[in-house]
Structure 1
Amino acid sequence: MKLIYYKSQQGNIGDDLNVWLWKKIFGDDFFNKNEEVAFLGIGSILLENSDYLKEASKFKKKIIFGSGVRSINEKFHFDDSWEFFFTRGPFSSLKTTYVSENYITDSAYFLALTQEYKKFINQPKKYNISYIPYYASVDKVDWKVICDELGWNLILPTGNNVEKFIAQVAASEMIISEAMHGAIIADILRIPWKRSRYYSHIFEGEMVSEFKWNDWLYSIDVFENNYINCIKKPKKLKHKIVNSGYYNKKNQNRILATLKKHERIPFNLSSDTRFNEIVKDLKLKKNKLIDTYLQ
């Protein structure tokens, strides 16, 4: 079985979860079986004419297991060789299967089915608030300086160390995250979270970023897409040429001032009822895949 996912050289927690998580759920030999099957799990990897779909099309059977559509403008033509176990959210479901009900949530929620989950949720709290930047935002400003000033813990989504990342989230009382999977993992660990926005919507594009977040939020019955607006402003030409350091310092000061007022935006957490429904549905999908492909 071929795992198809986005690979970032510096690491990106949401995508890196694929390598760590699926072996925990289906066993170490999961990807050594069914060589004619492609498996698409965590990530916004459903986009037309992409390398992901082209790679998957080489296989006799393709499994969609919680993947998300990248934006509302995508157009797809899937034949019977594509099996949609479930998509990330209702909007991904509608774009791929033409009905809005074929979703559960982001498949990172399978973390709740791992043996390690109990250890994570019982981990003692060490940090009041932890902040998680988007992986492409990490080098844009000095997040360590900002977090130190606020008295917050900084968790980087890069580095390719999934268990360390989850453990740091688990050790936090609250999470503020620009990275969507930072918020997702917090929700799985039943830790209140809120979204910030700085550079991700510039890097991905406004339409892509908001589609992804709303797709996931609706899947967990959170219908208000509120966020702390730390928007990165375009660098003026004179700062590019004369003093980039001045620009970065000014940018950091603006972010710091905005984050100090984070209380204006409420924390979120999916309801226990919805979370338990998700876990129940994921167990059913897990058993169905095992019965179909791993017996």
Structure 2
Amino acid sequence: MKPYYWESQHGNFGDDLNLWLWDFLLPGFRDAHPDTLLVGVGTVLNTALLPEEGRKLVIGSGYGYGTIPDMRDRERWDVRCVRGPLTAERAGVSPDMGIVDPAVMVAEMPEFKGLAKRHRKSFVPHWETALAGVWPAICERVGLHYIDPRGEARSVIREIAQSETVIAESMHGAILSDAFRVPWVAVSTSRSINSFKWNDWARTVGVRYAPRRIPVSTRAEAKLKGGRFWGMAFQGEQTASVGDPNSRIIGEDVLVAASNPRHTTLRVAAKHALALPSTFALWQASRDEPQLSSDSVLFDRKARFLAVLDGVRRDYF
């Protein structure tokens, strides 16, 4: 069995954790049923992403983009559970199968238990926001620890667990915060942030997705997301297909913003001045009342997910 996940060309910890999470949840799965693809963490129930051929075992995946596959053929699809009730509805399966995002189980791994707190408040942007913005500098100005979602997944998760509060634009930033019992605040810099998948997860643990809007921090970021920057509107750098985020065209100015080119003092000052609305909005968000799912609800969802894993072990091992 081989794990399937969407791989961002720039890196995204919420998808990359598939590389090792399933070895913890289903030890030995790689040696069983080589013809089966394990479809796990991520918004990957999408015909533009999943290969047509082969048998697929779906455990906790979500829908959110493009066209959802027809999963009625039981010879090709074994759907054990999906991320939440919204995905279950789109997939045409029982609402009871919308259990939770499997990433919550990362908190059960011994290597992440008992970590000391190191960061009072942290900000985890969406990977696109990290790619094109000047958020590390903004975080430094408002006293937040910046966590780059493009980093190595274990390191990113450790930083989340070691925070006392998290401001999350990344959905998995919020999911992992909630799993580690770290209160979190949702924010959004763009209409392209997928509220469907956020609400899909939020309903499973009884929290509310009502993000505070944060302006984009650079012209490059506005151009990438199809937003506005100081009154100027931009169309998003998109191809005709919305199925695979890797198909998005990334302009040269975005790459320049991400690669940290040599700046003059004047240029740095100008960028900081232009980012003042973003700075103030993020500072306000850091002072919002954070939320957290109840211990009992999260425990129940984990128990239901573990029951699904028990069924998979019986049938596949």
Residue 110 (structure 1) aligned to one of 62, 84, 105: 105
CA contact (8 A) 1:39 1:65 kept: yes
1:15-94 aligned at under 5 Å gives the runs: 15-27=15-27, 29-47=28-46, 49-52=47-50, 55=51, 57-59=52-54, 61-71=55-65, 74-78=67-71, 79-80=73-74, 81-94=76-89
Task: Name the aligned partner's letter for residue 181 of structure 1.
Answer: H
Q: State the Cα distance separating 1:75 from its structure 2 match.
A: 4.8
Q: State the Cα distance separating 1:259 from its structure 2 match.
A: 1.6
Q: Distance in 2 between matches of 1:279 and 1:90?
A: 16
5+ residue gaps in structure 2? 217-226, 235-251, 258-266
Q: State the Cα distance separating 1:6 from its structure 2 match.
A: 0.4
* Number of residues of Structure 1 aligned to a counterpart in Structure 2: 273
State the partner residue of 1:229: 213
Residue 142 (structure 1) aligned to one of 118, 129, 134: 134
Identity rate, percent? 27
Q: State the Cα distance separating 1:247 from its structure 2 match.
A: 8.1
Cα-to-partner distance string for 1:175-207 (whole Å, 9 max, x where unaligned): 0011110111101101000111114x33xxx6x
Q: State the Cα distance separating 1:237 from its structure 2 match.
A: 8.2
TM-score of the superposed pair, with normalisation by structure 2: 0.79
Task: Give the ranges of 4+ consecutive aligned residues of structure 1 lying more than 3 Å apart after TM superposition.
Answer: 73-76, 235-238, 244-251
Cα-to-partner distance string for 1:245-282 (whole Å, 9 max, x where unaligned): 69854552111111222267431111011011012112
Inter-CA distance 264–131: structure 2 relative to 1 (3 Å threshold): closer
TM-score of the superposed pair, with normalisation by structure 1: 0.85
1:189 pairs with 2:180: yes
Cα-to-partner distance string for 1:105-164 (whole Å, 9 max, x where unaligned): 1111121332334x2xx21111110001111111322212111111111111112x2221
Q: Distance in 1 between matches of 2:81 and 2:173?
A: 22
Q: State the Cα distance separating 1:231 from its structure 2 match.
A: 3.4
Residue 211 (structure 1) aligned to one of 185, 193, 196: 196
Q: Distance in 2 between matches of 1:190 and 1:167?
A: 13
Q: Distance in 2 between matches of 1:282 and 1:237?
A: 44
CA contact (8 A) 2:183 2:291 kept: yes
Inter-CA distance 227–83: structure 2 relative to 1 (3 Å threshold): same
5+ residue gaps in structure 1? none
Q: State the Cα distance separating 1:77 from its structure 2 match.
A: 2.0
Inter-CA distance 75–170: structure 2 relative to 1 (3 Å threshold): closer
